[in-house]
Structure 1
Amino acid sequence: MNTSPGTVGSDPVILATAGYDHTVRFWQAHSGICTRTVQHQDSQVNALEITPDRSMIAAAGYQHIRMYDLNSNNPNPIISYDGVNKNIASVGFHEDGRWMYTGGEDCTARIWDLRSRNLQCQRIFQVNAPINCVCLHPNQAELIVGDQSGAIHIWDLKTDHNEQLIPEPEVSITSAHIDPDASYMAAVNSTGNCYVWNLTGGIGDEAPRHLLGRPNMQDLEDIQLFPDDGAEHQEQQPWRVVPRLDVGLRLLGGLPVHCHCFL
C-alpha cells in the first residue's frame, strides 16, 4: 500500500467515520487525530466499508454509493454507483473483491459486479419491507438480509432460493452478523433484543438458541460475533456478542457519527 503522507497507508490502524455532516473522515486510531477529510456532497453517509484489498472505501448514501481511493489524496470519488431509489443502508464486499452487495429502503438487496466497472447492478433480491442490514455468510454464497418487518431473509446466491426467520413479527431487524466459523448467527431488533442461532445444523431451525434481552443489551443497535478464546471447550456459549462502537465514536472531533469501519 502507498504510504505517502496523508494517505491511509501512512498509519498502521486507521478508523474511518461518516454521518450527516456530508464528510468521510480518517483518524489515527491510537491518537484520535483526524488525518484526512473527504467531502461527500450528495447526501449523508449511511454505511461505510473497505474493499478487501484495502484500496478503496465505499460510502453508501441516498440513492448512490461513492468509492474513494485510499492510496492517494484524491478528494473525488473514483467510482459511482447510482440508480437506486431511496437510502442505501448497508454495503459490503465478496472476500475476493469480485462483487459488492447493498441493501436499502427500496426493499431490495443488490449485487454489483466490480470487475466490469460498468456501474450496473447484476442481481436484485426483492423483499416486502425496507432493508436495514445485509451481511455476507462466510461461505461467500449466502446473503443475510434484515428488514423492517422483522424478517431475516437468507438468500442463496447459487440457487436463488431464500428462507426466512422471524424472531419477533413486525419488530424491525437493525443488525445481523455471522461469526467467522459460521457456527452462530446473531440479530438485533429495534426493541434491543439480540437473538442467536446455532448454525451447525444449517439455517433451517426457526428457534434461536439464545435470547439476550434488553437488560443486557441496552441501546444496542449493531453487533458482531467473535470467537471467545477462553470458551473454546464450553458448550453453552463459545462466542462473544460485541456491541459495535457508537457513543465512544461520537467523541471524535465532537461530531455525531452514524457509521464507521477500521482500515
Structure 2
Amino acid sequence: MSLRVVSGGYDHTIRLWDAVTGTNDQTLQFNESQVNQVQFSLDGRLVAVCGNPRVCFYDIQSGSTSPVLSLEYHRNNVSQLVWSESGPFAITCSEDTWLCEWDMRASEPLRSCKSDGCLSGVVYGNRKDECFTCDYGGSIKIWSLENKEVLARLVFGDQEILSGLVFDPLHHLVASIGNSGYGYLFRVETEEEEKESTSMKDEGSMSNQTDDGYFSRVTKLRCSKRYVLKARFNRDASLLVSAGDDGNIRVWGDEKVADRYQEQRWQQSRLVGKHQKWAWDCLFTRDTRYVFSASSDKRICLWDIETGDLMKEYKGHQKAITSIDTFPTTTDND
C-alpha cells in the first residue's frame, strides 16, 4: 500500500502523510477558515482545499506553501469540489446556494446555477453536462449544467438535512446521508434507461419521477444515532462505508450478492472501527482491504475491514479533522 494521505480540519492546517510510515512529511497553513474538504487532483500534483468562501489549490510537488490558484466566486462555505474525468474542469457547490462549473484555465465560472437552498454535496453524472446535488432542504437534484435547469428532483422532507452524496456511474447508484442518522441508496435512470430495464424494477420500489428521469429506492440504512457525516462506495460499488456522530465506522453490503439493487444485500453491516468522538470522513483503499477514517478526536485511523484491527494512527492535528483523501504513489494494475 503506497499512498499519500492528505487531511484538513479546524486547526487551519493541511497535512500530508506517508500512509505506510505514518509520517507527517508536509504541513501547509490555511488560516482564513476551517477546512471543509481536501481533494487530490487526478494526477496527484495539486490539493484542492475548500474553505469559507474560497477554494485554494496547492502544488504539493513544488514545495511551495502558498496557493498557486484560488477560486473566488462563492460567498459562503464551499461544501465540495469534484474534478471532471475529462479535461481541466471541476464543479463546486456552496452554502451560498450556487453551483459552479469551472474551466481551471479561467478565473470565472464556466457556468453557474442557483439552487433554492444551501448546497452540501455535488457529483458528476453520467452525461457530460450532468451533475447531482444535495442540499439542506432535504432534496437531491439532477442538473443540466448546459441548460442551467433541474431535470429531476427527489425530496426527502422538511426535517431532513442532507449532508452529502456519492454516485457510482457504472451501476447508477446514489447514496445520500443526512441528519436523521440514515443513509439512503437509490438507482438513478433516465427515461431511455427506464424503457430498457423495466424488468429490473420491483413493483414495490419507491420512485420520484419527472419527465426526464427518476429515482428508484434501493434501501435505507441506519448508519448512526443522529448525524451521518460521510459515506463512500468502494471502487466497484459493492460496499459502502459510513461515518457518523457516534464515532462508528461501518461497512455495508454483501460482496457475494452481485445484484446492487437488492435491498437485503445492503443490510449486512460490519463495525470496523470506532473513534472517541465524531467521525467526519471515511474512505476505502483501492483494494478494499482497509478503510481510512478521520475524527474530532484528532486522529486519522487505518482499519482492517475484515478483522476490525486498528492498523495505524496518524497524529498531528490539534483539532477536529473534517476531511481526508488519498493518492497512490505507485502504479498498480488492480
Show the counterpart of 1:261.
Answer: 325
Distance 1:25 1:55, change over 3 A: same
Q: CA deviation at 1:209?
A: 2.3
Residues 1:252 and 2:314 are matched in the alignment: yes
The 2-side partners of 1:241 and 1:101 are apart by 32
1:28 is aligned, of 4, 14, 18, to: 18
The 2-side partners of 1:126 and 1:137 are apart by 18
1:179 is aligned, of 150, 155, 168, to: 168
The 2-side partners of 1:92 and 1:188 are apart by 18
TM-score, normalized by length of structure 2? 0.67
The 1-side partners of 2:20 and 2:232 are apart by 22
Per-residue CA distance 1:158-202 (angstroms, 9 max, x = gap): 443312111233411111111241421111111111111122546
The 2-side partners of 1:71 and 1:164 are apart by 41
1:16 is aligned, of 6, 23, 26, to: 6
SS of the residue corresponding to residue 231 of structure 1 reads: coil
Task: Give unmatched runs, 5+ long, in structure 2.
Answer: 195-208, 239-254, 271-280, 283-292, 302-312, 328-334
The 2-side partners of 1:59 and 1:241 are apart by 32
Letter in 1 for 2:122: V
CA RMSD of aligned residues (A): 2.7
Show the counterpart of 2:35.
Answer: 45
| Contact 1:138-1:178 within 8 A present in 2 as well | no
The 1-side partners of 2:184 and 2:259 are apart by 22
The 1-side partners of 2:125 and 2:180 are apart by 25
| Contact 2:79-2:95 within 8 A present in 1 as well | yes
Per-residue CA distance 1:52-76 (angstroms, 9 max, x = gap): 2222111011111110112221111
- Range with greater deviation from structure 2 (248-257 or 119-128): 248-257
The 2-side partners of 1:52 and 1:104 are apart by 22
> Alignment length, in residue pairs?
250
Distance 1:103 1:210, change over 3 A: same
Show the counterpart of 1:121.
Answer: 109
Show the counterpart of 1:221.
Answer: 229
Distance 1:97 1:50, change over 3 A: farther
The 2-side partners of 1:133 and 1:37 are apart by 26
SS of the residue corresponding to residue 246 of structure 1 reads: strand
TM-score, normalized by length of structure 1? 0.84
Distance 1:214 1:42, change over 3 A: closer
Show the counterpart of 1:190.
Answer: 179
Distance 1:161 1:103, change over 3 A: same
- Write out aligned runs for 1:57-206 (5 A): 57-114=47-104, 116=105, 118-162=106-150, 163-200=152-189, 201=193, 204-206=213-215
Report % sequence identity. Answer: 20
Show the counterpart of 1:236.
Answer: 262
| Contact 2:300-2:315 within 8 A present in 1 as well | no
- Range with greater deviation from structure 2 (73-82 or 90-99): 90-99
| Contact 2:180-2:226 within 8 A present in 1 as well | no
SS of the residue corresponding to residue 256 of structure 2 reads: helix
Distance 1:179 1:207, change over 3 A: closer
Letter in 2 for 1:99: F
When Rg is computed on C-alpha atoms for both structures, the one with the higher figure is 2
SS of the residue corresponding to residue 16 of structure 2 reads: strand
Letter in 2 for 1:173: L
| Contact 1:108-1:125 within 8 A present in 2 as well | yes
The 1-side partners of 2:148 and 2:115 are apart by 13
Q: CA deviation at 1:121?
A: 1.4
| Contact 2:124-2:131 within 8 A present in 1 as well | yes
Q: CA deviation at 1:225?
A: 2.3
Relative to its length, the structure with more strand (as a share) is 2
| Contact 2:171-2:260 within 8 A present in 1 as well | no
SS of the residue corresponding to residue 134 of structure 2 reads: strand
| Contact 2:24-2:316 within 8 A present in 1 as well | no
Task: Give unmatched runs, 5+ long, in structure 1.
Answer: 1-10
